[in-house]
Structure 1
Amino acid sequence: MRVLLTGHQGYLGTVAASGLASAGHLVTGLDSGLFADCVLGPAPVDPPGLRVDLRDVTADQLAGFDAVVHFAALSNDPLGSLVPALTHEINHRASTRLARLARDAGVSRFLYASTCSVYGAGGSELVNEDAPVKPVTPYAESKVRVEDDLWRLADDGFSPTALRNATAFGFSPRLRADIVLNNLVGHAVLTGTVRVLSDGTPWRPLVHAEDIASAVVAILAAPRSAVHARAFNVGTEKNNRTVAQIAEAVLGAVPGAQLLITGETGPDPRSYRVDFSRLRNAVPGFTARWSIPVGAADLVEAYRVYGLTQHEFDRRFTRLARLTHRAAAGELGEDLRPIGSLAGSERA
């Protein structure tokens, strides 16, 4: 397939681009480059790319593609809560606009990166895709709204699928340090302390970045009838863990580290355990392979081999800090568009 991958220079998109190319797809990226330089270790080899803001995509740029895989977004809860209006502009309205343009351009498959955080205060019982959604942040709410819009756009020629990804973890050449396992491992390696700011009790389902990429490849290969206008939780039940249990896995990967549960942020209303059986049953070609302990050990090795520093951890690989720095340097406008012109097409 000819695949357009949005957010190909992000944490997940970089891994997905490699997975799609390895599966034989002809990949073109689309990214505004906000986090293109957030690289730890050797620079990744990107596919050819369009340097364009998601809000400015045109129908002509979507013509000729068989599928769009849509990862580009303002991608975490703290950032979404800081700028909720922009979160809805980019994550909701621009995403729905992209899907509509793709349908009108003749794109037949549209894979949307949603999130398990749509379940919000889901409690301790396993929730599946038929459970009521209870988003508690602007980020999660924006994802729910896009899913609703996608089902309305679905027709005989346009087949959308929503991937409700569990909380991602694991190494990517373009790193993020502000997601739970990556963050806890970083603190352990750099300071010797596994520092948990909540009380440690919330449930989180986790999934490795490579497993998300594998799910994308498997869904594109699946019969249309199996995935048309459906949402799928992406992950594995074995990675449903409390934050305290995730921290214990980090202690196992960093001998000598100490656990500190501060509770300073108070109880976290985001707590949910997730059932992932629908994807396994509908798309037998997919299996989530990465466990939390193995992923933690892999991160420890990468952080040490590639020389992660405290400054990079705090500033370069934390989304909110990175955008704040770029805005203060005059590189971004208030609307988070890069200052200066973006080339319509370039070798990314």
Structure 2
Amino acid sequence: MRVLLTGSSGWLGRFLAPQLRSVGHAVTGLDVAPGPETQVVGSVADAELVARVFGAHGIEAVIHAGALHKPDIARYPAQHFIDVNVTGTLNLLEAAARARHDRFVFTSTTSLMISQAIRDETADHAVWLDEESGPLAPRNIYGVTKRAAEDLCRLFHLEHGLACLSLRTARFFPEEDDTHRDLSGENLKANEFLHRRLTVEDAARAHVIALERAPQIGSETFVLSAPSPFARGDAQALKEDAAGVITRLFPYAPGLYARRGWHLPARIGRVYDASRAERVLGFRCETDFSRVLDALRTGAPLPFAHDADYVSPQVRAEARPMR
């Protein structure tokens, strides 16, 4: 198929475009920043540009991975989030409906599931989060606009029969966390594979599978995260003594962590349940916490990316001096 991939210069796009080509798709990349996987530089908020791209490249399906993200809140006003994340999604959906497409894959986020209470971990147990969790009360403009975009996808399925799958991805960014500084980047990322992280390679593979399966599934939302080793019955213990639960499941973990100067989490406040993606979409992450421990035991490279100096292509492009 001739696939339009938005966000093609971003962290996900640079991994997703080659995976799409490897299974036979022709990929047209659209991004506000130039990059090796981007053929068209521009914004999805520009409806005329979107229409031209559809016509010029004979687009047959869309993977909409482009968006403003949570770190962008410090750089852009709320209106810009609405223009890009909501109006941009609407522009793509309308173009897909006009072209009578049969599939549309939307990159969403688990962030829209996190209310302020969940963020502050006010519960006395780890909160289990899956596709049925709610009521949803996103805590920032990023989450609000991604939830609105999901609703647009659902609406276009109902009104136009367009198969729309929304993939709520957990964390896969390579840079340092912008809110947690108590652990080193690699240590924090390793811990998150227990309950709220996946690799960018797994995220890309999920999108390829979603593109293939969308017409058979219709309209669905999936949480994407590495499979958690925890059971719902562990919820209270995870909040009180997460390290103890982890040690029970992985007795060798404390020793492996100690050798590296790392720390297991003292408590875990939320767990993403990705079991529906495995049951319905047929997708399961290849990298999980046990793979991280295997790497620590054998001395192999860690099975995830960490780059403390990573800067998004959009920020780099905006920082370039005008000529």
> TM over 0.5, yes or no?
yes
2:166 counterpart residue number: 162
Query: Does residue 281 of the first structure (1) align with residue 279 of the second (2)?
Result: yes
1:143 counterpart residue number: 146
Whole-angstrom distance in 2 between the partners of 1:329 and 1:223: 39
Q: Which has the higher contact order (CA 8 A, sep 6+)?
A: 1
Residue 158 of structure 1 aligns to a residue whose secondary structure is coil
2:250 counterpart residue number: none
Deviations 1:197-249 (A, max 9, x none): xxx99x951111111111111112226231x221111123327899x979xx8
Does the CA-based 8 Å contact 1:150-1:160 persist in structure 2? yes
Alignment of 1:238-253 (within 5 A): 238=228, 252=256
Alignment of 1:1-348 (within 5 A): 1-33=1-33, 36=35, 46-47=36-37, 49-56=39-46, 57-63=49-55, 64-75=58-69, 77-85=70-78, 86-121=80-115, 122=118, 124-132=126-134, 133-154=136-157, 155-168=159-172, 176-179=174-177, 187=185, 204-222=195-213, 224-226=215-217, 228-238=218-228, 252=256, 255-257=259-261, 272-284=270-282, 286-292=283-289, 294=291, 313-314=308-309, 317-319=310-312, 323=315, 327=318, 329-331=320-322
Measure how far apart 1:89 and its partner are.
Answer: 2.0
Point out where structure 2 has 5 or more consecutive residues left out of the alignment. Answer: 231-237, 247-252
Measure how far apart 1:146 and its partner are.
Answer: 0.5
Q: What is the percentage of aligned positions where both structures have the same residue?
A: 25
Whole-angstrom distance in 2 between the partners of 1:218 and 1:328: 36
Does the CA-based 8 Å contact 1:251-1:259 persist in structure 2? no
Measure how far apart 1:272 and its partner are.
Answer: 3.2
Whole-angstrom distance in 2 between the partners of 1:87 and 1:116: 17
Measure how far apart 1:290 and its partner are.
Answer: 0.6
Query: How has the CA–CA distance of structure 1 residues 136 and 27 changed in structure 2, closer, same or farther, with 3 Å as cutoff?
Result: same
Whole-angstrom distance in 2 between the partners of 1:330 and 1:2: 35
> Counterpart amino acid of 1:282?
V
Query: How has the CA–CA distance of structure 1 residues 48 and 319 changed in structure 2, closer, same or farther, with 3 Å as cutoff?
Result: closer
Residue 221 of structure 2 aligns to a residue whose secondary structure is strand
Whole-angstrom distance in 2 between the partners of 1:184 and 1:208: 22
Measure how far apart 1:73 and its partner are.
Answer: 1.2
Measure how far apart 1:153 and its partner are.
Answer: 1.8
Measure how far apart 1:150 and its partner are.
Answer: 1.6
Residue 308 of structure 2 aligns to a residue whose secondary structure is helix
Deviations 1:258-293 (A, max 9, x none): 6699xxxxxx9xx53222122212122x22111246
Whole-angstrom distance in 2 between the partners of 1:293 and 1:257: 18
Measure how far apart 1:84 and its partner are.
Answer: 3.9
Deviations 1:304-331 (A, max 9, x none): xxxx9xxx834xx1449x72x6545545
Deviations 1:29-76 (A, max 9, x none): 111226x4xxxxxxxxx456212222223313124222100111122x
CA RMSD of aligned residues (A): 4.0
Query: How has the CA–CA distance of structure 1 residues 184 and 253 changed in structure 2, closer, same or farther, with 3 Å as cutoff?
Result: farther
Residue 167 of structure 1 aligns to a residue whose secondary structure is coil
The structure with the greater share of residues assigned to helix is 2
Query: How has the CA–CA distance of structure 1 residues 93 and 195 changed in structure 2, closer, same or farther, with 3 Å as cutoff?
Result: same
Does the CA-based 8 Å contact 2:102-2:163 persist in structure 1? yes
Does the CA-based 8 Å contact 2:43-2:84 persist in structure 1? no
Whole-angstrom distance in 1 between the partners of 2:7 and 2:41: 10
Question: Which stretch of the first structure deviates more once superposed, 18-27 or 108-117?
Answer: 18-27
Query: How has the CA–CA distance of structure 1 residues 280 and 47 changed in structure 2, closer, same or farther, with 3 Å as cutoff?
Result: same
Corresponding residue pairs, total = 283
Point out where structure 1 has 5 or more consecutive residues left out of the alignment. Answer: 37-45, 170-175, 189-193, 262-267, 332-339, 341-348
Whole-angstrom distance in 2 between the partners of 1:274 and 1:302: 18
Residue 197 of structure 2 aligns to a residue whose secondary structure is strand
